Every structure is written in structure tokens, then in C-alpha cells.
Amino acid sequence: MEQIAWSMPIYKKDKFSISFAACNKHISLYIDANILEIYKSQLSDFTMKKNALYLPYEKKLPVKVLENILKQSFEEI
């Protein structure tokens, strides 16, 4: 299911959700904390807190890692 909540697009299925927001200095990606933990070592250049990944505009996006995270998340949800 797709919806807008907390002024962000959210993709939900059962208890899982993926959402994102554009902020002043970064993009925030909110995803299951267990999935983020799997990719923690590959995202060491980025700030992560609980279930959030912060992607600063001035850094190159880790596109392959993000693809893998999203694919795995959609498998989960």
C-alpha cells in the first residue's frame, strides 16, 4: 500500500514500511533496522540511526547498495 504520512511517501505491507524525505542537507531513508544492520559495513561513510539512513547531497550515492536494500526490503514487505 502506498500513502503519505508525516509528509513523506510511505510504502507499507503488514508491519513493514519504507519511507523517505528530502531535507535541507540530506535525503532520509527510513527502513527496517534489521535490513540496515545487514548493510552497515557497506554504509560506513553515511550516518545511520536506528531505522534511518542519511544520504548527504554532497556525497555520491551508494546506488548498488541502495538497490540491494530496497530489493531485500520489498521481499520482506
Per-residue tens of pLDDT for the chain, all 77 residues: 787 877 778 888 777 778 999 999 999 999 999 999 999 999 999 999 999 999 999 999 999 999 999 888 877 55
Position 76 scores a pLDDT of 58
Instruction: Give the largest CA-CA distance in the chain.
Output: 35
Sheet containing strand 2-5, strands side by side:
2-5, 8-13, 16-22, 26-30, 52-56, 47-49
pTM: 0.82
Query: Residue for cell digits 508525516?
Result: 6
Q: C-alpha dihedral over 15, 40, 4, 77, to 10 degrees?
A: -30
